[in-house]
Structures are given as structure tokens and as C-alpha cells.
Structure 1
Amino acid sequence: MRSTLRPVALGPIALGLAGIFMALATPAVADVKAGVDAWGRGEYKRAVDEWRPAAIAGDADAQFNLGQAYKLGRGVPVDIAMAESWYRKAALQGHPQGETNYGLILFQGGKRAEALPWLEKSVARGEPRAQLVLGTMLYNGDGVPRDWPRAYALMVRSAASGLPQASTVQAQMDQYIPQDQRQKGLVLARQYEADAARSPLPPETSGSGTQTAMRGTEVPPSSYDDNAGPRPVDEAPAQPPVRTKPRPAPVATQAPPPRPAATGKWRVQLGAFGDPNNARKLWGQVAGRFAGRQPYYVKSGALTRLLVGPFASSSEASRACGAVKPCVPVGP
């Protein structure tokens, strides 16, 4: 296995589907809603004119919306410094989207130390883009101490929210993060899931599902509210490249004596998949729990069954099933 990751150039992060809008709090100032309505009609300059007095007066929604306008260049010229300034004003008032976008725009501008506390606040709320960016920072040790279990946990949660870039980066992490650290990350991801009451992990990862028809790894749709009317589209910064320093050469140790080859005709079934790649992915996650055994990919109609063995008896297969769920002994 290679010891380094090649940088990955990814496009702007989309929130599940193109055209999903960021949610805004119910405006407290009539002009703010009038600006949102104008923005929805494509009247960007009028929207900006409606928002500016309210923003100057201290309305956090209007401040966030002006940040969006300056970032996207709608109704005003693109001005990242002005966008950052308005996001900051909204963030300092506790505006959730303002906090997230302020952290992201600081990160995009290379201000890692300033971005970190705002990204952490957004991650604590379960914000997928912040999870993606902070997870990548933790993986690379980019402005923060390297923490692969937490990086993996955040990437799993971001991918489960519907960000395709997060799924891509998670697949890379699967290749380079040792299995024991990935397992720690999955435990932490489940804790984050419970804390945020977000959508559950796919069953191949969470260890749930049915024997005969486990679901694929397609992530659920975004949980953003897209029924609250037109709002400024939020465009997140480009995904930072994933990279890692070369790992130190392993210290030479005496090889352990070879393990006797397992024998027998019993196996255990860990699932059945419509996509054979999902069966191989699951084996990559649990192989360490079945030392000395091997996978069998058995076609059964449109499904591919993942079997593991061999085992000498039914009781030995049943004991092996204690290592992972779902798991069913299969006789000869």
C-alpha cells in the first residue's frame, strides 16, 4: 500500500442537490423579508438595497444575506473581504449560518487558526460542510494536531448527510487509515449521530440491516430545509486537498510463527448486496475480526452474499458471529 495520498482537486461543495438554499431565521425586520423575496425573483440589487439598512442597524439575518451577496457577486461586485466582514458581524451575534460561512471563508483565505473555533462551533451543530473541512484538517494535521479517528468520524457524518466530496474523501481514508483507528472513528461517529439526532449510518457501517437484503451505501439526502422559500444560494469553498506525510518505515521485528490453516465446511454470512463492491467494502472493514479466515463472494440471483470461513463446526461459526452483527452461521 502506498504511504502517501495524492492531492485531490474537487469542485465547490454542493449541499446534496444543486439549488438547495441555506435556511434563514424568520426575519425580524420587514425589509429583510422583502429583500429575500426580491432575491428569489432575481432582483439582486433591490435585495441588497433592502438588506443594507437593516444590516447596518444590526439585524443578523440581513448581515448574513449581505455576506452572501458579496461572496456571490449578486447585486454588488464580488468582494470576499466585505463578505467576510458581514459574515463576522452575523457570527458574533450567534447566527448559525453566519458562524459556518465565517469559518469557511476564513479557512478559504488561509486563516486556519481564526477559522478553527468557528468550524468547531458548526461541527458541534452537525453542519456537514464544516465536518468535511475540519475532518480534512485533522487528517492532514493542517493547522491542528493530526487526529485520524476524529477525522474519520467527521467524514463519515458529512458523507451520511449527502456531501459527495465527503464520500470521496472517506473512500481515500479507508485506504490509508489503519483499521483500528477507523473503528474508533466509527464509534465516535455513532456518538455524534446520537448527539445530533441526524440520519443513521448506512447498515454496512453501523452493523444493522437484514440477512438477505442489506441496503447499499447510497447516502441519504441532505437534511436542509428546502421548503421555506427562495434564499441566497450558499456556495462553499473548494474542498482542500487530502494529503499525508510519508509514514516512517516500520521497525523490523521477528515474524510470528505461521497460524495453522483453518479447516472445516462451516461459514458465516455477513450480508447480501446488490452491488458486489459493497460486499468487498464491508470485508475491508471487518477483516481484522476474522483472523485466519477468508471471504467468499457468492452470487445468489441479483445479490452477492459475503461469506467468511472456514469454520470446523456450527459452534465455532456461532462464536465467530460474536465479532460482528449481523452474522448468521451457514452449514455445509
Structure 2
Amino acid sequence: MKTSVRGFTALGAAAIAVTALVSCSSDSGTSTTSQGTDGFPVSIENTFGTTTIDSKPERLVTLGWNAQDILYALDLTPVGQPKYTYGADDNGVMPWAQDYFDADKTTLFDMPASGEPPIESIASLTPDVILAPYEGFEESVYNQLSKIAPTAAYPGAAWQTSWQDQTRIVGKAVGKSEEAEKLVDGLDATLADTAAAHPEFAGKTLAVVNFDTDSSNINVYLPTDPRVQVLTELGFVNAPGVEKLAADNAGGSFFKTISYENIADIDADVIVGFTDGSGDPSGIPAVGGLDAVKRGSTAFLSDTRVIGGLSNVNVLSTPWVLGQITPTLSEAAKRTTA
């Protein structure tokens, strides 16, 4: 199975970091009224308008990638969330969320191949709120979802809400803004500590690429994509060619498709590549000719769990995935000065 553009559709120190982050939200139990300063109703802006949640929601349904992980980190359990296929364990749950998932409390629903939310399945869960601060869908879908329950949709461009803003949106929607802010501070600290422990990352140029050796094109992730943002928070900077693609990105997408013959334009000190199902792209002449490939300063990722982890950037998944990729990133970065 090849990695999709979205990437959806690896533990020691990382596990300790997860525990530290989650403990920020769970020390005082689960009662919203006793924990936070949020009062209801609350209003949350999104790309389609404003969502108002009149009272504390109890039945929480999430769409797509990150909202359920944020709920788990806030010591809450959704009544429904999508079933994962790419990178997931056999039960349809990502590896970093296994200790939180309870099949008796949370229903997994299938996402259609079209990517649009399964309206009937969601409605059958009778949610009080639908959390989708990252997933891209049209206004017509938002209107359908809003007829079921208040829907906290993405606030700007689809698939480009930062992990920080996703955390804050979910926290506000469930009355736990204070706890959500602690989670943001916790992951910020984890990223800063990782960067400090790896000065070889600082200032090295970066390109994050989805390879498909069966195609004549590659997809380059742009600076507004959270998986790029989390790597730059470690000290990397976007390669000039990636910045140029972003400047020319009239459509406002989180990625840009370019041909293999133009891949030299985005050469970087370090290239992070998703290669699942495509084999090693180094055998393609244009790829093999890159300076990063010649010196071995690449991090080609083929494990779908790791690719899924880097593609699901949130307060629960990111400490886990840092435990998987940091040694590889370090080795690649050190080779730029070898």
C-alpha cells in the first residue's frame, strides 16, 4: 500500500514524555467545572463561520486524524472516532493510542474512500459535538455535520491547522482550555529539549517528500504542513526550493507535486522521504543524483506506523514518533558535515 498524499490514508523516553504530557491534564480528574475556567456557551471560529456550543458536551465524536488523541491526552474518551487502516494495529487504532482506547466506550466507524465523513454513522452516535479542527471538507459537508451537532471545523486552510491550534480548539470545545494549554506547553518543552540535545539539527535545510516510484511525480510537503512544522521546531529550516514552491502555491495546498526531473530544485541538507510501498527511490537517477543522497543525509521512512506517526502531529503521537525517528534524523544531519 502506497502512502497517500495525506499520509494516512516508533518507546522508553518517548513513553515517559507522553506520560508527562497527559499528566498535565489528569491530575484533578475529569470534571470540567472543577478543572477549567471555561464556561459555556463557547464560540469557536472556523473557515465556514462560527460554531457555538451551548453546554458542556458529553458525547464526543472526532473526525480524521488528531482530535481523538487530544481528547485522550485531556483524559476524555470519544464515543466515536474513525477506524484507522494506514499504520494502525489490527484493531484500527494507532500504536500510541492503544493504552487509551476502550472498544466498550468508543465506536470505530469506517471512512469512505472518498474521504468524506460518513454522515449516517456519525448521526447514529448522537454526539453533542463533532471535533474536526484539521480535516478538510467542503462547506456542504460542514452544514450536514452541523445539523447533527455543533461542529468545530478547521479554522483556515484544510489540513494546515497547527498542532498547537488543534489542541486549543479541542480544549475550548470541551471546556478544558487550561489543560489544553498545559499540553501545548508540555510538547513545546519536549521539542525544545530534543532540539537542545541535537544541535546538529540547527539550521540544516530540510525537504519532506512523499515518493512514489510508480509515478513520474513526487509530492513535496510545504511549510504550512504540520509534519514539516514539527521538524522545523527541532531546529531544521525549510530548503530554499521548498520555500519557493510555497511562494508559488497559489492554490493554498499543504503540498506541491513536482516531477522527478525537477527534484534537484528541492535538494536539501536533509531529506525526509516517505517510501512505503515504493521501494528505495535512490535507484531513480534523478534521486540518486541529489547531494543529500550522495552523502547519505536522508531519512527514508518505510514503516507505516512511523509515517503515520509523523503525519499525525499531536500532543499524544509526537513524543512517540520522536522516539522512533530522532536517531535517524541525527545520523542524517551529522552526515551533512562529515
TM-score by length of 1: 0.25
Q: Which structure shows the bigger proportion of residues in strand conformation?
A: 2
Relative contact order, higher structure (CA 8 A, sep 6+): 2
Q: Which structure shows the bigger proportion of residues in helix conformation?
A: 1
Q: Which has the larger radius of gyration?
A: 1
